């Protein structure tokens, strides 16, 4: 079907083919009848037609269908649309929320702290009430290395013993140390001197065993006893001739009956010549190792140990400021017999029952006269003795022995006895105004 028409606004009308005008349609409420021209809006105002201006030109429009355009009403001034909130947008926290946040945080912190406190209490033994240590493993700084003083003491103490000997005045007590695995023990002569009863040895673990005196040398203050026990651990011997002033040392023993006591110090001096002895007893000469390690009564016969745990001396005597007959105590001046000398004497006692005494074959008469006290004058020289064999004569003044200056007769006797028989020493002496040197081969006493 072919439709054609004219613009309504131009006074045209729709016609059917053949020129017959289309019948008019009944009017729609609120709108003019179909086929009637819309009322145009004049230039001065008026009502705007609701019809589309090009509605009649739409080729797909049914001419019989009413056509209307509904325009939305313009918003009245002063009226704003109701705001719509975004449910996903973050909102401002309320006062209740602000109060809940710290409360929940405090509760969580309290719970965590309580749990940690309980865990630490259980681990430290506070809940059980029996475990006092917090950590069974010692820190690195507390680990005792073998070369530390604690490590040395731990290694040597099992070889240190307490020596008890019954005498007329009661029980004499001193110290000693195991010299051989078959039970030989080295101690001081003055510990076992005057013994009338049995001797006993108390070991580091508290056990004890009877002992017998093998032999003793009063002049060197060395004695050897023996216990019948197997599986003993002997000490390791060092070299007393290799010591230097300032070397660290440990003194071990039973001072004042306090067994397994260890004190530390240094080598204060070497070849400290001295004479000691009790009234009516033998005179003892020492070229001793001086130490400031605390030594008291009961330490006698115990070992003096170097930093490597080797025995380098036998603790023997102390110096004190007390008057005669009073009990002496430590003032930091203790003296030990060099182990090279003590070991030699011990071997003599074990082998022959007695010790050899080293001599130079001369008698000393006093300090060098007219020389400001320097040197020791020889009062007599044995014709066939070591001194005579080296060309020394009575009246000669010994200035040095093996490089050590002589000032007192004690110096010469103590230093000579330090060496073993057969040792060759250099003697510097003065005869008249001349200084000379001689090599002397020391010998053993014929006793």
Q: Would you name the residues annotated as active-site residues? A: 190, 221, 300
Q: Of 306, 386, 298, 292, which Cα lies nearest the Cα of 338?
A: 306
Per-residue DSSP letter, 48: P
What angle separates helix 409-418 from helix 339-352, to the nearest 10 degrees? 60
| 242: phi then psi, degrees, rounded to nearest 5 | -95, 5
The CA distances from residue 197 to 168, 213, 236, 367, in Å, are 9, 11, 31, 44
Q: How far apart are CA 327 and CA 307, in angstroms?
A: 31
DSSP per residue over 176-207, as a string?
EEE-STTSEEEE-HHHHTTEEEEEEEE-TTS-
Q: How far apart are CA 53 and CA 48, in angstroms?
A: 11
Number of H helices, E strands in the chain: 6, 20
Residues 6+ apart with CB under 8 A from 156: 235, 250, 252, 303, 305, 309, 311
Half-sphere exposure for 2 (CA within 13 Å, toward CB): 3
Per-residue DSSP letter, 51: S
The CA distances from residue 86 to 81, 89, 269, in Å, are 15, 5, 96
SS3 430: strand
Q: How far apart are CA 190 and CA 173, in angstroms?
A: 10
SS (H, E, C) 66-98: CCCCCCCCCCCCCCCCCCCCCCCCCCCCCHHHH
Residues 6+ apart with CB under 8 A from 196: 166, 167, 168
The structure tokens 């009564």 sit at: 297
Beta carbons within 10 angstroms of residue 266's beta carbon: 15
SS3 46: coil
């Amino acid at each position: 079907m072919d439709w054609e028409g004219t613009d309504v606004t131009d006074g045209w009308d729709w016609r059917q083919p053949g020129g017959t005008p289309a019948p008019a349609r009944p009017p729609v409420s609120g709108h003019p009848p179909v086929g009637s021209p819309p009322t145009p809006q004049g230039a001065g105002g008026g009502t705007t037609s609701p019809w589309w201006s090009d509605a009649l030109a739409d080729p797909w429009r049914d001419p019989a269908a009413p056509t209307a355009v509904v325009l939305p009403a313009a918003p009245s001034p002063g009226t704003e649309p109701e705001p719509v909130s975004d449910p996903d947008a973050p909102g401002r926290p309320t006062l209740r929320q602000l109060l809940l946040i710290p409360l929940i945080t405090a509760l969580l912190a309290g719970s965590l702290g309580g749990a940690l406190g309980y865990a630490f209490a259980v681990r430290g033994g506070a809940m059980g009430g029996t475990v006092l240590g917090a950590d069974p493993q010692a820190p690195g700084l507390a680990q005792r290395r073998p070369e530390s003083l604690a490590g040395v003491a731990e290694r040597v103490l099992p070889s240190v013993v307490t020596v008890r000997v019954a005498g007329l005045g009661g029980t004499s007590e001193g110290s000693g140390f195991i010299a051989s695995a078959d039970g030989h023990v080295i101690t001081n002569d003055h510990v076992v001197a005057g013994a009338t009863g049995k001797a006993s040895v108390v070991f580091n673990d508290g056990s004890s065993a009877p002992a017998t005196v093998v032999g003793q040398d009063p002049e060197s203050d060395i004695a050897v006893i023996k216990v019948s026990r197997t599986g003993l651990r002997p000490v390791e011997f060092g070299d007393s001739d290799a010591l230097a002033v300032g070397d660290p040392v440990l003194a071990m023993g039973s001072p004042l009956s306090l067994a397994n006591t260890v004190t530390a110090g240094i080598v204060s001096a070497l070849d400290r010549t001295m004479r000691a002895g009790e009234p009516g007893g033998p005179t003892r000469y020492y070229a001793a190792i001086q130490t400031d390690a605390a030594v008291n009564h009961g330490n006698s016969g115990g070992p003096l140990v170097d930093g490597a745990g080797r025995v380098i001396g036998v603790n023997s005597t102390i110096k004190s400021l007390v008057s005669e007959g009073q009990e002496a105590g430590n003032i930091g001046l203790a003296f030990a017999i060099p182990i090279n000398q003590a070991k030699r004497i011990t071997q003599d006692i074990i082998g022959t029952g007695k010790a050899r005494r080293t001599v130079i074959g001369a008698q000393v008469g006093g300090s060098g006269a007219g020389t400001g006290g320097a040197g020791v004058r020889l009062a007599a020289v044995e014709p066939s003795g070591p001194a005579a064999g080296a060309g020394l004569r009575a009246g000669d003044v010994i200035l040095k022995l093996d490089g050590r200056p002589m000032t007192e007769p004690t110096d010469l006797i103590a230093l000579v006895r330090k060496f073993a028989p057969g040792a060759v020493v250099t003697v510097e002496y003065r005869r008249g105004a001349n200084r000379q040197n001689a090599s002397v081969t020391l010998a053993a006493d014929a006793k």
